Structure 1
């Protein structure tokens, strides 16, 4: 009889959790969730149970592991150290299979000599990752765009030599293999869902044709990645990310199809955007566009936190991750981890700290045996350094609703 009574109480866990959602403060809810999970798992019957029919299997969580790295600026040596430290690659520089997604937020080019080596390595990892269930998401930073325009102010003369001269370099980055991989594999921004029920990377929010059933209780369980930032004043945030990426794809095509290519600046005059660039394309490259915006990093945190939720709601995300604005000592977290700036000056050109950002997402059914629709969702955001790590955010939520876990 005591055994039946304990199992009966377990079946009421979804109701208890729903009640907690109604009145608990966030810190109380988090503590109660931990207690309920431990209580549930600790009471799982052993193999020696007298009544196997009432045995309850331990719920198996869905886990997604993401590593994001900021500006690399021509330094393959430090880039390799960072990706090996974060377990993205093994000691040979090959995809390890230890993460689900590796995200790089742009500015691979300039300030160093390793442009060719870095883009070739990124392409190799992109090809290797799917065999082990992984994926690489790459972004164009303002420096990639500067080079596409013909603005070579931050190109080292020794890096030009690695291409065999200025003419050869311009050909490779515009219409050669680097230009082709930019057009095929790099976006200006991305939206990465934390759970596959929300679709693959870069699934739009809001969706073009909403499903007939009720929206998912984890509809905003996604992260945006961009080089500069998604400004609250930028008019092309939705649908996200396809609107921005459509504009950037069009502009890149116009730049790559200019004939003849304008000679690089310096020593020649600054060429600027193509004459047929649209107002949308000009705004993309503007100060509040996703390539150059620094407000989330530099504005007072109080004003940033007042504005961030509106941008997150419009883009269907919970956090924004960006590079571009370096802090040479640490990854910067603002507004309780809603804003994360991951450029720490990895390149030897800056001498900053070597770092990577880790995101571990878990979604656990509270009572899988009873097919309950109650879940425990957890996100742990950690800054990884060569000599240690720092947890920047740890969020736990109870969720009630239908989620496709197939």
Structure 2
């Protein structure tokens, strides 16, 4: 067996440390582990020139990204580097409420909000698109809508975008067995028969899409340092996002559900996994019924299946996230806003977004934009205004040190002037972020 030279034995650990250090800089938005940096600094006493060569060799394609992440992590970066050592972060979010079987109006809304172009293709001008459920029923375009939205999901992924899809009470009613008054005969014809439609929404292709790509609740961090969509709040103790979620950006996130997060609902933490785990359990129970209930009508509405747990029934209950309408009710605004603050605190969010309760004239904002109800009856079945919620978030360095965080929340309309719903600015000291 050939002997390794002293030079090889000396340099090999350095290369391993360099790869580990830089790879973690790239992978983790919180930067590399301190012990890796210490190892490199120790070797750097003797091999400082080789460190630079190893870094350039291993990570040159990711050089700018690594420096940006190091800067945001509080690691010193040379001021003469080829990127701004304190980069500006921007995120644009668009959310749309109930669509209810209307492909034409859905296309108009998404094009108006610059989510898609005139051909219905993803534009790349939005970072995250959220749809809050109730795509099905009240119109004929169920199949076309779901096929289009799944194509958009793939296009978004290919361009670095994110699409978040929620189940509404109508998706759940269909999965359970369906009251008939919301299903038009003309929509049934697009499936071929009521039996084929029933199979699609209980065990077939549409149920598969719901199980794979839809949740009942979503938490969307505004900044990537807080984690990807649906990062729990509070995060588990071993989470790489624990530190960021304990800092001044901890609640820099939005919640999305179809109906609303009731103050009385007991499963708000950790958010959103507590809700989504119950949701997945109930959905699995529905799909596992054997035999599946016959179509309604002419048969009786089956209701929740045998064995449904108390938590699962509560999820589908009047104060669950699918049906709750309390935030849309008129009443004591101060009391409502105090309750909203309690829910936001529990869910690690600044604003809550929901559909379900239509206002045919405008998106409804309450409590300074902390409560946003975005169902405006987009479908021709309602005849409401065509609308979308727009959120533009920035975190940028300020001359002289520090950071400025800004949220601009607007209601976008196809046939009337856009409306500013909230504009919040926060200044943070240089050392506050980390």
- Shorter-chain TM-score: what band? 0.7 to 0.9
Q: Which sections of structure 2, spanning at least 5 residues, go unmatched?
A: 1-78
Deviates most, 206-215 or 302-311: 206-215
1:59 Cα deviation from its structure 2 partner: 6.5
Q: Could you tell me whether the CA contact under 8 Å between 1:197 and 1:403 is conserved in 2?
A: no
1:157 Cα deviation from its structure 2 partner: 1.1
Cα distance in 2 between the residues matched to 1:206 and 1:386: 38
Match of 2:310 in 1: 279
* CA deviations over 1:295-315 (Å, ceiling 9, x no partner): 011142332112110100000
Alignment counterpart, residue 97 of structure 2, candidates 64, 67, 70 = 70
Q: TM-score, normalised by structure 1?
A: 0.82
1:264 aligns with 2:295: yes
Q: How does 1:121-160 map to 2 (within 5 A)?
A: 121-153=148-180, 154-160=182-188
Q: Could you tell me whether the CA contact under 8 Å between 1:59 and 1:366 is conserved in 2?
A: no
RMSD: 1.9
1:394 aligns with 2:423: yes
Cα distance in 2 between the residues matched to 1:67 and 1:213: 28
1:213 Cα deviation from its structure 2 partner: 5.1
1:130 Cα deviation from its structure 2 partner: 1.6
* CA deviations over 1:22-72 (Å, ceiling 9, x no partner): xxxxxxxxxxxxxxxxxxxxxxxxxxxxxx99xxx7965211000000000
Which has more radius of gyration?
2
Cα distance in 1 between the residues matched to 2:191 and 2:335: 45
Secondary structure of the structure 2 residue equivalent to 1:396? strand
Number of residue pairs the alignment of both structures matches:
347
* CA deviations over 1:63-114 (Å, ceiling 9, x no partner): 1000000000000000000000000001110100000000000000000000
Match of 2:115 in 1: 88
Secondary structure of the structure 2 residue equivalent to 1:67? strand
Cα distance in 2 between the residues matched to 1:240 and 1:58: 33
Q: Could you tell me whether the CA contact under 8 Å between 1:380 and 1:394 is conserved in 2?
A: yes
Alignment counterpart, residue 219 of structure 1, candidates 212, 235, 250 = 250
1:241 aligns with 2:278: no
Q: Could you tell me whether the CA contact under 8 Å between 2:314 and 2:320 is conserved in 1?
A: yes
Alignment counterpart, residue 108 of structure 1, candidates 124, 135, 143 = 135
Cα distance in 1 between the residues matched to 2:328 and 2:205: 34
1:117 aligns with 2:144: yes
Q: How does 1:321-400 map to 2 (within 5 A)?
A: 321-367=353-399, 372=401, 374-387=402-415, 388-400=417-429
1:256 Cα deviation from its structure 2 partner: 1.1
1:265 Cα deviation from its structure 2 partner: 2.7
Cα distance in 1 between the residues matched to 2:426 and 2:165: 30
Secondary structure of the structure 2 residue equivalent to 1:359? strand
Secondary structure of the structure 2 residue equivalent to 1:275? coil
1:269 Cα deviation from its structure 2 partner: 1.4
Q: TM-score, normalised by structure 2?
A: 0.77
Cα distance in 2 between the residues matched to 1:58 and 1:380: 25
Go from structure 1 to structure 2 and tell me whether the alpha carbon gap of 1:58 and 1:281 turns closer, same or farther (over 3 Å shift).
closer
User: Which structure 1 residue ranges, 4+ long, deviate > 4 Å from structure 2?
Assistant: 57-60, 210-214
Q: Could you tell me whether the CA contact under 8 Å between 1:152 and 1:264 is conserved in 2?
A: no
Cα distance in 2 between the residues matched to 1:333 and 1:164: 41
Q: How does 1:303-322 map to 2 (within 5 A)?
A: 303-322=335-354
